[in-house]
């Protein structure tokens, strides 16, 4: 009698937890069945009741699987975003450049050559994107006058490796700022004239990498527009020089 009550109690507990009819093939214990080993029967009933997953348990398993898949997806995206771009600068780097600069200045009657120097500082915020600032000074002469032009410009520079080259990197740039023109009239009664105006440069060039941190700026050619004497001038600006990069720089080739 005690074993039968235990069996009935186990069956009722199983039905309450599963909220469904036991599947075909499940072990059943009718009340009329002879109980030979009551302890074994009770263990079977309790084991069968514990193996049925409740809706709450199924929800928890689904949530755990979702969290695990999300974590794996985020790890995959993060790893892909951190993959280095071979041949280009990695992380935040600082680039120092300097060298010779030449401006063919449009004075309305020709393009006198003005030679000088330039210096620039660039910060790579992405492997292919640099924000840079430069300063330049060129000196020349016109008939009866000495000319000086100074420029300070700021803007983005975009790098690109053609044909996956590990030696050369090309770039394009657009820099805006201001320029200053100084004119000194020679001879008796000569005078000085100075004017500041808006200017910008747009163009590009090529860098030749000779080591992990050193490069040669083969050329940088820009359309250089200045605004002096109540009009504007269409000039050509060309430079070449040496580039030194502080930081992680390019990945190994």
Q: What is the pLDDT of residues 115-124, one digit of tens each?
A: 999 999 999 9
Two tokens, residue 197: 């105006």
CB 144 within 8 A of CB 185: yes
Q: pLDDT grade, residue 58 (50/70/90)? A: low
Distance CA 15, CA 10 (A): 9
Distance CA 108, CA 11 (A): 105
Q: What is the pLDDT of residues 205-250, one digit of tens each?
A: 999 999 988 999 999 999 999 999 889 999 999 999 999 998 765 4
Q: Is 108 in a helix, a strand, or coil?
A: coil
Average pLDDT, the chain: 74
Hey, what long-range contacts does 209-215 have (CB within 8 A, 24 or more apart)? Answer: 209/166, 209/167, 209/168, 209/169, 209/250, 212/249, 212/250, 213/244, 213/245, 213/246, 213/249, 214/242, 214/243, 214/244, 214/245, 215/169, 215/242, 215/243, 215/244, 215/245
Domains located in the chain, CATH noted: 2-81 (no CATH), 93-246 (2.40.160.20)
Pairing of strands 129-142, 113-126: antiparallel
28 pLDDT more than 70: no
Q: pLDDT grade, residue 175 (50/70/90)? A: very high
> pLDDT above 90 covers what percent of the chain?
40
Q: pTM to 2 decimals?
A: 0.61
- CA–chain centroid gap for 133, Å, is 20
CB 101 within 8 A of CB 118: yes
Angle at 187 between CA 181 and CA 189, to 5 degrees: 85
Most confident of 32-41, 65-74, 199-208: 199-208
């Amino acid at each position: 009698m005690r074993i039968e009550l235990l069996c009935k109690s186990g069956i009722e507990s199983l039905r309450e937890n599963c909220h469904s009819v036991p599947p075909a093939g499940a072990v059943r214990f009718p009340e009329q069945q002879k109980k030979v080993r009551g302890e074994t029967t009770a263990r079977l009933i309790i084991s069968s009741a514990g193996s049925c997953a409740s809706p709450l348990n199924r929800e928890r398993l689904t949530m755990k699987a979702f969290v695990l898949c999300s974590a794996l997806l985020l790890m995959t995206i993060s790893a892909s975003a951190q993959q280095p771009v071979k041949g280009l600068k990695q992380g935040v780097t600082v680039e120092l450049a300097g060298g010779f600069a030449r401006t063919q200045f449009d004075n309305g009657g020709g393009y006198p050559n003005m030679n000088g120097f330039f210096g620039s500082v660039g910060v790579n915020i992405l492997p292919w994107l640099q924000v840079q600032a430069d300063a330049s000074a060129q000196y020349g002469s016109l008939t009866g006058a000495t000319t000086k032009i100074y420029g300070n410009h700021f803007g983005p520079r975009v790098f690109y490796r053609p044909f996956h080259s590990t030696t050369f990197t090309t770039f394009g740039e657009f820099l805006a700022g201001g320029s200053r023109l100084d004119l000194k009239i020679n001879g008796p009664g000569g005078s000085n004239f100075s004017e500041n105006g808006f200017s910008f440069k747009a163009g590009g060039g090529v860098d030749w990498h000779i080591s992990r941190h050193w490069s040669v700026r083969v050329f940088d050619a820009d359309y250089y527009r200045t605004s002096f004497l109540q009009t504007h001038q269409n000039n050509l600006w060309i430079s070449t020089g040496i580039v030194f990069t502080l930081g992680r720089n390019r990945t190994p080739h």
